[in-house]
């Protein structure tokens, strides 16, 4: 038995001291780009992202829609593995069908579909327009577009076919498959279009160019794309069916993989990593989760492309309460990052660290990055957005989205938790709700602005400089709770008056 010295601390128990801010240390000069996979310590990572945020390997968080939206903003998603192999591969394939600027059409109907059906489809997807093709697929013969303002169910019968109200292809501006993205965007603006269908010579739909995507590019500038300008996407795997799952995900085009486990310090992860290295040496696979230098060293030596840190710190995780396993997220990061840097000095290989869990606010994100995390995996933060796959629920006039842990009874992700059963013997997560926060693309600019503002105050323009120069101090509960204690916030006053 060994008792570890010191106090196990969360990210929220630290504050940053300001450093000298130079003339060039301004928000527009901050570089948030980060390495995702191992590389020579004196070189560049072969996979980098402009935004050091990735979505959690969770059924309630990471869908193809989330992956596309996050890649557009410069981050990356990991499609969850708690589903059949073929379905996860299909999700990866869906993301890889999209090129930056050229969208594969995901919202399609046949001309025989009814207005009631298309109305439900548009409402469920939160979109304004659907594509009409001969067979209702994204590569069928292009017949036209149907927008939500092309009909009104109070006036037009719900059983009226789409063909009666759609805008036919002959009346629309379209482009050929050889058009460049620059020319397509010019056509969008010159013709005052929201959607430009790109149609092949045989009349089949090739892609869509959207005004919305142009505006997002101007807003975020650095999409996460591969050499063919397709969006990057990751995929989760487990240590049980990896011999079947990995080949399918590689064939589907996954850019990197990650073992999904609550406890990564195991021979099972080592075997999985070595299988991938032997069969697919070009494939990057991260591993985790661990909470100390021993776990990091083990996985790095086994070939992990990156290592995830955190056990029990997630808002819907109950591993600490159920099994007594875990560690404060800040303390775990400090230990692992110390080992990461030692490993780089000894071997010449830098293995990035991902902070997974214990992060709910931009303050905690900044502290994690200052401690040395290369990137951050987020569940709850992204679960409340429109792009997450879970259902919206309205309670007492407030809108929420369902959010459940992979260790909950609802998920039954037995492959993630080493309980020695085909089904979970006991839950290690809960099933709940998080406030609905709207579009990811409306939330991320605020998050980015806050992190950049923190870095400006700390006098750093890169994440590496932020880590190397950051001054942090643990704070007692009294200091942490002081903010907001002197003034009653207006929303509390309003709530009290209403009651």
pLDDT of residue 328: 93
Return mean pLDDT, the chain: 90
pLDDT of residue 274: 97
- The DSSP code for 391 is P
Among the listed ranges 5-14, 168-177, 311-320, 440-449, which one has the minimum average pLDDT value?
311-320
DSSP labels for 79-130? E--SS-HHHHHHHHHHHHTPBTTBBPP--EE-TTSBHHHHHHHHHHHT-SEE
108-130 mean pLDDT = 91
Distance CA(188)–CA(180), nearest Å, equals 12
Whole-number pLDDT of residue 485: 47
Percent of the chain with pLDDT over 90: 77
Confidence of residue 127 (pLDDT cuts 50, 70, 90): confident
Stated as kind and residue range, the H or E segment containing 454 is: helix 440-457
Per-residue pLDDT, averaged over 421-438, amounts to: 69
CB 46 within 8 A of CB 476: no
Q: What is the pTM of this model?
A: 0.84
Q: Which of 234, 207, 228, 225 is nearest to 72 (CA)?
A: 225
| pLDDT at residue 409 in the model | 55
Buried/exposed 310-346: b ≥16 CB within 10 Å, e otherwise: bbbbbbbbbbeeebeebbbbbbbbbbbbebbeebbee
Verify whether residue 258 is a known catalytic residue. no
Q: How confident is the model at residue 341, as a pLDDT?
A: 98
- Please state the rounded mean pLDDT for residues 191-208: 95
Catalytic residue among 317, 354, 355, 458: 317
Active site includes 192?
no
- pLDDT tens digits for 310-353? 997 665 666 666 667 889 999 999 999 999 999 999 999 999 99
| pLDDT tens-place string over residues 451-493 | 999 999 999 999 999 999 999 999 976 555 555 545 545 555 5
pLDDT at 491: 57
Quote the tokens at residue 339.
């080992």
Query: How do beta strands 142-147 and 167-168 pair?
Result: antiparallel
C-alpha span between 367 and 362 (Å, rounded)? 9
Catalytic residue of the set 9, 386, 416, 458: 416
Q: Is the pLDDT of residue 156 over 80?
A: yes
- Burial category of 446 from C-beta neighbours within 10 Å (exposed 0-12, middle 13-18, buried 19 and up): exposed
What is the average pLDDT across 235-243?
A: 96
Q: What is the pLDDT of residue 495?
A: 57
- Compute the average pLDDT of residues 144-162: 93
User: pLDDT higher for 121 or 324?
Assistant: 121
In sequence order, the 6+-apart residues with CB closer than 8 A to the CB of 181 are: 100, 101, 102, 209
Residues whose CB is less than 8 angstroms from the CB of residue 362 and which lie 6 or more positions away in sequence, other chains included: 446, 447, 450, 451, 454
- Can you give the pLDDT at residue 419? 44
Mean pLDDT value of segment 212-221:
83
Residue 30: pLDDT band by 50, 70, 90 thresholds? very high
| The pLDDT of residue 266 | 95
- Provide mean pLDDT across the span 251-275: 95
pLDDT tens-digit map of 379-429: 999 999 999 999 999 999 999 999 877 655 555 544 544 445 555 554 455
Give the pLDDT of residue 312. Answer: 75
149: pLDDT strictly greater than 60: yes
Mind listing the pLDDT tens digit for each residue in 488-497? Answer: 455 555 555 5
Does residue 128 surpass a pLDDT of 70? yes
pLDDT computed for residue 285 by the predictor: 98
Percent of the chain predicted with pLDDT > 70: 88
82-86, 120-124, 446-450: segment of lowest average pLDDT? 120-124
Contact 472, 16 (CB under 8 A): yes
Q: What is the pLDDT of residue 101?
A: 85
- pLDDT at position 215: 86
Q: Which two tokens stand for residue 70?
A: 């996050």
For residue 477, give every residue at least 6 positions away whose Cβ sits within 8 Å of its Cβ, in sequence order, or none.
none
Q: Is 374 helix (H, G, I), strand (E, B) or coil?
A: coil
């Amino acid at each position: 038995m060994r008792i570890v010295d010191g106090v196990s601390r969360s990210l929220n128990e630290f504050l940053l001291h300001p450093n000298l801010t130079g003339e060039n240390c301004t928000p527009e000069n901050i570089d948030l780009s980060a390495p995702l996979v191992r590389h020579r310590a004196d070189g560049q990572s072969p996979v980098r992202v402009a935004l050091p945020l990735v979505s959690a390997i969770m059924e309630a968080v990471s869908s193809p829609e989330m992956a596309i939206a996050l890649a557009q903003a410069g981050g990356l998603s990991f499609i969850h593995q708690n589903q059949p192999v073929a379905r996860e591969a299909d999700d990866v394939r869906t993301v890889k069908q999209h090129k930056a600027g050229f969208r594969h059409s995901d919202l399609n109907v046949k001309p025989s579909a009814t207005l009631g059906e298309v109305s439900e489809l548009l409402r469920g997807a939160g979109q304004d327009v659907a594509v009409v093709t001969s067979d209702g697929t994204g590569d069928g013969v292009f017949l036209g577009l149907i927008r939500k303002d092309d009909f009104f169910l109070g006036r037009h019968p719900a059983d009226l076919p789409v063909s009666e109200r759609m805008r036919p292809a002959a009346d629309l501006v379209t482009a050929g498959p050889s058009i460049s993205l620059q020319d397509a965007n010019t056509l969008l603006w010159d013709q005052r279009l929201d959607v430009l269908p790109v149609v092949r010579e045989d009349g089949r739909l090739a892609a869509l160019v959207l005004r919305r995507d142009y505006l997002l590019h101007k807003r975020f500038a650095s999409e996460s794309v591969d050499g063919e300008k397709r969006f990057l996407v990751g995929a989760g795997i487990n240590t049980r069916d990896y011999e079947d799952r990995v080949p399918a995900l590689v064939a589907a085009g996954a850019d990197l993989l990650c073992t999904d486990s609550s406890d990564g310090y195991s021979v099972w992860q080592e075997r999985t990593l070595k299988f991938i290295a032997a069969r697919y040496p070009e494939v990057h696979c991260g591993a985790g989760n661990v909470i100390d230098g021993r776990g990091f060293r083990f996985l790095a030596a086994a070939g992990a492309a990156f290592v995830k840190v955190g056990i029990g710190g997630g808002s819907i995780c109950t591993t600490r309460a159920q099994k007594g396993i875990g560690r404060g997220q800040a303390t775990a990061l400090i230990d692992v990052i110390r080992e990461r840097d030692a490993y780089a000095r000894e071997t010449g290989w830098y293995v990035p660290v991902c902070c997974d869990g214990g992060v709910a606010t931009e303050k905690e994100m900044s502290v994690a990055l200052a401690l040395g995390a290369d990137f951050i995996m987020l569940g709850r933060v992204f679960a409340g957005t429109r792009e997450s796959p879970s259902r919206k629920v309205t309670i007492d006039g407030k809108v929420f989205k369902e959010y459940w842990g992979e260790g909950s009874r609802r998920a039954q992700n037995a492959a993630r938790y080493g309980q020695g059963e085909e089904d979970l013997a006991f839950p290690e997560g809960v099933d709940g709700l998080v406030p609905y926060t709207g579009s990811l693309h409306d939330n991320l600019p605020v998050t980015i602005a806050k992190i950049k503002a923190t870095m400006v105050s700390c006098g750093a323009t890169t994440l590496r400089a932020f880590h190397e120069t950051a001054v942090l101090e643990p704070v007692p509960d009294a200091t942490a709770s002081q903010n907001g204690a002197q003034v009653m916030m207006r929303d509390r006053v309003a709530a009290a008056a209403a009651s």
